[in-house]
Amino acid sequence: MHLPFLFSFLSFLFIQNTSSSVTDGKNPAPADWPMQFHAVLFMNRSGILQKTDLWYDWPNGRNFNIIQHQLGVLNYDLEWDNGTSFYYTLEPFEKTCKVFHFDVGILRPDWLNDANYLGQRNQDSFLCNVWEKADFITYYEDVRTRRPVYWVFKTSGMTAHVMTFEVGAVLDHENWQAPVYCFSENRTQNKRPSKDSEIQSFNVINRMSMRNNRQRVVNSLNGVIQENDVHKSVP
Ligand SMILES: *[C@@H]1O[C@H](CO)[C@@H](O)[C@H](O)[C@H]1NC(C)=O
Ligand SMILES: *[C@@H]1O[C@H](CO)[C@@H](O)[C@H](O)[C@H]1NC(C)=O
Ligand SMILES: *[C@@H]1O[C@H](CO)[C@@H](O)[C@H](O)[C@H]1NC(C)=O
């Protein structure tokens, strides 16, 4: 083994080791996500903009991304902790629904626990602590309030700016019901999701990464969800 390589490998181990320590002055840990919250996110992927309402509801095992594409379609991405996700549109848009099954559930509140601390940066006019996780997300948290401010999916370059963050907000029960056509046999069936569809969901990308299943993340970010990765849960 060449010495320069050995040296950088050892530094890598050293950095990994020191940065994974628990909260102290130099290496703070990110705040756990609240058990329930509502956030409004402005997201940008290569100039394509969307506004996402994120309703995280850990005690009830569910998570919702309601995605308004700029001057376009409103998409509902309803994710259950049992691995089933419903991805649909409602009237006045064309009634479509796709059902996916993932082998992991929704994000745990402590999903950032093993993130690697990168230090402080200014972002969106907030002084932030910054972490990266699994080489694919960089996450910015306000130093003062410890609320998330911003994140970047490193592979796709998609950015999210957190506009509101309401701790404890819960979406009314009736809104968590997927429409009846999600349960019929006539659902729209696209083998490959379009670029603006479910693969861009904050949570789906993260759910995949949680298990460090990088290949799946890369595949999905490239718009190629494999047949054996995501399959219909309804025949
Ligand atoms: C969106 O991101 C692109 C780079 O991918 C950038 O050029 C553009 O200014 C961004 N738009 C907004 C509204 O932030
Ligand atoms: C998961 O839960 C949802 C909501 O209760 C349900 O509609 C879906 O069928 C469940 N999926 C599985 C695989 O049990
Ligand atoms: C499904 O499609 C079939 C054939 O096109 C049609 O007869 C049936 O009414 C449809 N069912 C629903 C629930 O839309």
Maximum CA extent, the chain: 64
State if residue 213 touches ligand 1 by the CB under 6 angstroms criterion: no
Side-chain half-sphere CA neighbours of 29 within 13 A: 14
**Residue-wise pLDDT tens for the chain (235 aa)?**
454 444 444 444 444 434 333 445 578 999 999 999 999 999 999 999 999 999 999 999 999 999 999 999 999 999 999 989 999 999 999 999 988 888 888 999 999 988 999 999 999 999 999 999 987 799 999 999 999 999 998 888 899 999 999 999 999 999 999 999 999 865 544 433 444 444 445 555 555 555 444 333 333 433 333 333 333 333 3
State if residue 44 touches ligand 1 by the CB under 6 angstroms criterion: yes
* Best probe residue, ligand 1, of 42, 44, 158 (max atoms within 8 Å of C-beta): 44
This prediction has a pTM of 0.75
140-144: long-range contacts at Cβ-Cβ below 8 A with a sequence spacing of 24 or more?
A: 141/30, 141/31
State if residue 186 touches ligand 3 by the CB under 6 angstroms criterion: yes
Q: 């609320």: which residue's tokens?
A: 147
State if residue 47 touches ligand 1 by the CB under 6 angstroms criterion: yes
* Closest residue by CA, ligand 3 atom 3: 186
Rounded CA gap, 72 and 213, in Å? 32
Closest by alpha carbon to 65, among 47, 41, 84, 81? 41
Closest by alpha carbon to 83, among 67, 104, 61, 97? 104
